[in-house]
Amino acid sequence: MRASLPVFITGLALAGAVSAARAEDAEILQKPDPTATLDIARGFGSAKMDKDDNGDPMISGRIDGVRYAIYFYGCEDHENCKSLQFSTGYTDPLTAEQANTWNRKYRWVKAYSGDGSNFKMDVSFAGGITRANLEEQFSNWDSMSNNIKDFLNGR
């Protein structure tokens, strides 16, 4: 029985460490905080804070050479936004057929035909998300940047 006590105490210490790590990740973000979002963006490449045409926060950045913007939506007086959208576009518009080809192949980032931003990914904060989940959204966008370049170059 004596040998079991140190094992039990070690197990409790490990459980406490895991609980502390989960508690840190369990911080629920109820809205997309522009400063925290910019901090995460800088972990994936260059990024800076801007404002869109309506005066709402906007982040401009590059991941793997692909320019993108993050637009904040559902804002109240340019704050307390409800969601965000990753967006990248090219001067050559996509045809409906090209957009459909992309959308059949890829799940997270959607392509749109026409002028303007052609590739978009929405992130809703309804009900809240963890910082780790927001970082995962950046990871999804990051992983798709080379696919976007290859797709546009006909590969």
pLDDT at 18: 45
**105 close to 83: Cβ distance less than 8 angstroms:** no
Share of the chain above pLDDT 70, in %: 81
Residue 102, C-beta contacts closer than 8 angstroms, at least 6 positions apart: 94, 110, 111, 119, 151
Query: What are the residue boundaries of the structural domains of the chain, listed by start?
Result: 28-152
Topology of domain 28-152, CATH: Yope Regulator; Chain: A, (3.30.1460)
Across the chain, mean pLDDT equals 85
pLDDT at 8 over 70: no
At 111-127, the pLDDT tens digits run: 999 876 699 999 999 99
pTM, rounded to two decimals: 0.80
pLDDT at 20: 47
pLDDT at 78: 92
Give the integer Cα–Cα distance in Å for 61 and 44. 9
pLDDT at 128 over 80: yes
At 46-85, the pLDDT tens digits run: 999 999 999 999 999 999 888 999 999 999 999 999 999 9
Give the integer Cα–Cα distance in Å for 111 and 121. 9
